Structure 1
Amino acid sequence: MASTRDSNEASYLLPPDRKDWEAYGIPDFVYARKELVPEGIQWPRNAPSLLDALPPPSRFDSALCLAWRQRMELGLFRYHLGELQTQTLPGAVGFVAQLNVERGVQRRRPQNIRSVRQAFDPEQFNFNRIRPGEVLFRLQPAPIAGALRREEVLVLINVSPLEWGHVLLVPEPARGLPQRLLPAALRAGVEAVLLSSHPGFRVGFNSLGGLASVNHLHLHGYYLAHRLPVEGAPSEPLDPKGRLHLLQAPPAPGFLFYSSGPGPSLEALISRVCRATDYLTDHDIAHNLFVTRGAPPGKTSSSSTLAGVRVILWARKSSFGVKNGEAFNVALCELAGHLPVKTSQDFSSLTEAAALAIIRDCLLPPAQAEEVRAALVALMAQEEQ
């Protein structure tokens, strides 16, 4: 399926002639453990232009953005993504709203999802059917003596991008895995965040029923040059060991997992999150997940320094069938405070109160939310047994 290429910039670019794409092979982006940077990434302070003041791109950022830009120039996306009209909604939350009309009109029709546990269907669209040029590279850690081989993770363009650099991380696509979060997929997503020097590179996951539109295991990754509420929102511990926290502030209460960086802390986080999502999937409860650099759990943090990685998990009402016609659909971005809006009218009239009402309507009723909370606390406590 692939031929290994050098990791210089040119290796991530397609040949100019489309007929050569099939023979191009998939380049490898091989990264060393030392490239996973947990500390020192921060938002610029008092900068007249945030974009101009962001830190230099990492090797990962350069490879992704160079190849992504080329695919845009080659016309491989469903529409050309220019600079999106963006506003921070007035109010205490700090919602970042963006007008993205094309995504609302041009994106592929979502599949008919009937269950959070729905099996993979090879007859439906899946990522084994994409054009060769949509693959940017294979994300691969450098081999470590004695360590098990990691699963192959392909980085693809999202042909209906919601923001700059919008990609999909797809583990072992040939296996036909359904949209159920697995440790290898989450590990790739968290490590992608740690490979980026951009404070606004985020990764997320939508379950079936949580507005995933393709039932083939994948995560989203994208750049957003704006702070989001969940980066520093306050939380309270739900167990004495601090393994699980409750994120209390709007847009929506969620379960917070935190790691200071690579090593045992990160592996523990991956294990805990996937045990939580397994519980939700097994009980047919839809969910969304968001990975971002952020502050440690505890009190509100207004610091521009992002000390580690936050993974936020939301259990929510299932949304099956055709997506609704609201100003925005509630999935991983919206629960984190990023609102891609579909029409100019909605963009100009949207308020914080209206956004919160749409989001709250998608959350579990209180009794079920409390049941889920108790179950996840019990799951975390099993580590001691």
Structure 2
Amino acid sequence: MAIPHDSNEASYLLPPNEEAWGERGIPDFVYGLEELLAGGVQWPRIAAGLLGTLPLSRFDSAICSAWKQRMELGLFRYHLGELQTQTLPGAVGFVAQLNVERGVQRRRPQSIKSVKQSFDPEQFNFNKIRPGEILFRLHREPSLPGATQQEDILVMINVSPLEWGHVLLVPEPALALPQRLLPGALRAGIEAVLLSRHPGFRVGFNSLGGLASVNHLHLHGYYLAHRLPVEGAPSQPLDPGGLLHLLLAPPAPGFLFYTSSPGPDLEALVNRVCRATDYLTDHEIAHNLFVTRGAPPGKTSPSSALMGVRVILWARKSSFGIKEGEAFNVALCELAGHLPVKTSQDFSSLTEAAALALIQDCLLPPAQAEEVQAALVALVVREEQ
């Protein structure tokens, strides 16, 4: 992906002395309603590798210029070049990428035994990172609708990146919040997607037991210059008002929420999703969440226009720690159809059927899945009454 340029991009670049970053203060990226692009962002009719020709936003420029500088300064665990990528043959359209370094060099997951586990200050957390890993603070203009209390969302590099521009969105690290989704964090994630002009900028969340490796509240954001199956997969409504849909197509059935505009509709969606994740957390059910530009709910096709934002929530079996010997571990991006593969051998031999089998093994058994669906539908119906 080509690096965009912005007249203010120097504001987010690290000074020669990294310690001066903290002394002069983390720069603020302040955005208003006019920068939240609900529509008009589409995949170009060109090869994915030419996506750098897209007109990108001020937000894209801020992330990419600062992220590139941190890579050149060696602040990551490995240098990320262009990843070998293939679309697996078959109906799903899995995007597989070979990322050997992430499989080998990423930090070992923390010892986690519960979806509701408390924050442990003795374990690694985002208050212990180097100052240069922080790119900027994401800050909403006070006039934007939503929470009356402003929250600091630090945007920092993921030192073991999945793909280009892989960042973490960390709300108020000093509060020592455990990895449990909160409305302010989700709102920031959705608005980050709306701030980008790149159709492949996505945001996601892994719960504890859903392969979150750090028990400190954070979301992931990254660029992937490829369409994914969940952008336009068909769905069916689960409630009379059509606020909750069931995503029908592979890779995995999930709960689909949708918004086409910032403002009250987005606020209602944030609260609706967090009620669902609160239910799952309180019942010790692991989950993953993915935010992407996509088509409105219904019987749509992968080529449908990206009219708004899809938020997809998957309830799944708990899995604590990384499973060795498998081609990939199932978390937010794999459930969406993006498969970061650990070894060259697995990358060359992976099939759609094998990928689906790995994902299926992580899903809830049918009886429990039906119970969860009934509970989430009841939450939405209660809201509609």
Query: The TM-score by the shorter chain falls in which range?
Result: over 0.9
Please name the residue that 1:314 is paired with: 314
1:96-135 per-residue CA deviation (whole Å, 9 max, x = no partner) reads: 0000000001111110110000000000000000000000
1:14 touches 1:24 (CA, 8 Å); kept in 2? Answer: no
Give the SS at the match of 1:42: coil
CA–CA distance in 2 between the matches of 1:216 and 1:105?
22
Q: Which moved more, 1:160-169 or 1:147-156?
A: 147-156
Please name the residue that 2:4 is paired with: none
AA at the equivalent of 1:180: R
Unaligned runs of 5+ in 1: 1-6
Please name the residue that 2:139 is paired with: 140
Following superposition, the deviation at residue 23 of structure 1 comes to 1.9
Q: How many residues matched?
A: 379
Please name the residue that 2:117 is paired with: 118
Change (3 A) 1:48 1:120: closer
Please name the residue that 2:335 is paired with: 335
1:182-204 per-residue CA deviation (whole Å, 9 max, x = no partner) reads: 00000000000000000000000
1:116 touches 1:209 (CA, 8 Å); kept in 2? Answer: yes
Please name the residue that 1:92 is paired with: 91
Following superposition, the deviation at residue 166 of structure 1 comes to 0.1
Q: Is 1:205 the counterpart of 2:205 in the alignment? A: yes
CA–CA distance in 2 between the matches of 1:168 and 1:267?
22
Following superposition, the deviation at residue 55 of structure 1 comes to 2.3
State how 1:32-51 maps to structure 2 within 5 Å: 32-45=32-45, 47-48=46-47, 50-51=49-50
2:206 touches 2:289 (CA, 8 Å); kept in 1? Answer: yes
Change (3 A) 1:380 1:51: same
CA–CA distance in 1 between the matches of 2:144 and 2:321?
47
Following superposition, the deviation at residue 301 of structure 1 comes to 2.3
Following superposition, the deviation at residue 8 of structure 1 comes to 1.9
Change (3 A) 1:377 1:81: same
1:256 touches 1:311 (CA, 8 Å); kept in 2? Answer: yes
1:112 touches 1:322 (CA, 8 Å); kept in 2? Answer: no
1:89 touches 1:95 (CA, 8 Å); kept in 2? Answer: yes
Please name the residue that 1:101 is paired with: 100
1:318-373 per-residue CA deviation (whole Å, 9 max, x = no partner) reads: 00245343100000000000000000000000000000000000000000000000
CA–CA distance in 1 between the matches of 2:132 and 2:52?
32
Following superposition, the deviation at residue 310 of structure 1 comes to 0.1
AA at the equivalent of 2:182: L
Q: Which moved more, 1:223-232 or 1:51-60?
A: 51-60
Following superposition, the deviation at residue 48 of structure 1 comes to 4.4
1:43 touches 1:54 (CA, 8 Å); kept in 2? Answer: no
2:31 touches 2:140 (CA, 8 Å); kept in 1? Answer: yes
Please name the residue that 1:56 is paired with: 55
Please name the residue that 2:285 is paired with: 285
Please name the residue that 2:194 is paired with: 194
1:74-105 per-residue CA deviation (whole Å, 9 max, x = no partner) reads: 10000000000000000000000000000001
Please name the residue that 1:226 is paired with: 226
Q: Is 1:182 the counterpart of 2:182 in the alignment? A: yes
Following superposition, the deviation at residue 378 of structure 1 comes to 0.3
Change (3 A) 1:53 1:67: closer
Please name the residue that 1:217 is paired with: 217
Following superposition, the deviation at residue 303 of structure 1 comes to 3.0
CA–CA distance in 1 between the matches of 2:313 and 2:144?
34
Give the SS at the match of 1:23: helix
CA–CA distance in 2 between the matches of 1:280 and 1:143?
32
AA at the equivalent of 2:72: E
Please name the residue that 2:3 is paired with: none
Give the SS at the match of 1:41: coil
AA at the equivalent of 2:246: L
1:117-175 per-residue CA deviation (whole Å, 9 max, x = no partner) reads: 00000000000000000000000011229972321100000000000000000001000
State how 1:224-373 maps to structure 2 within 5 Å: 224-303=224-303, 305-373=305-373
1:291-312 per-residue CA deviation (whole Å, 9 max, x = no partner) reads: 0000000012233531000000
Please name the residue that 1:18 is paired with: 18
Q: Is 1:380 the counterpart of 2:380 in the alignment? A: yes
Change (3 A) 1:179 1:52: closer
CA–CA distance in 2 between the matches of 1:167 and 1:356?
27
Which of structure 1's runs of 4+ aligned residues deviate more than 6 A? none
Please name the residue that 2:77 is paired with: 78
1:21-42 per-residue CA deviation (whole Å, 9 max, x = no partner) reads: 3424200000011100000000
1:15 touches 1:24 (CA, 8 Å); kept in 2? Answer: no
CA–CA distance in 1 between the matches of 2:53 and 2:196?
12
Unaligned runs of 5+ in 2: 1-6
Give the SS at the match of 1:305: coil
Please name the residue that 1:27 is paired with: 27
User: TM-score of the superposition, structure 2-length normalised?
Assistant: 0.96
CA–CA distance in 1 between the matches of 2:200 and 2:59?
14
Percent identity among equivalent residues?
Answer: 81
AA at the equivalent of 1:152: D
Give the SS at the match of 2:23: coil
Q: Which moved more, 1:321-330 or 1:369-378?
A: 321-330
AA at the equivalent of 1:42: Q
Change (3 A) 1:171 1:89: same
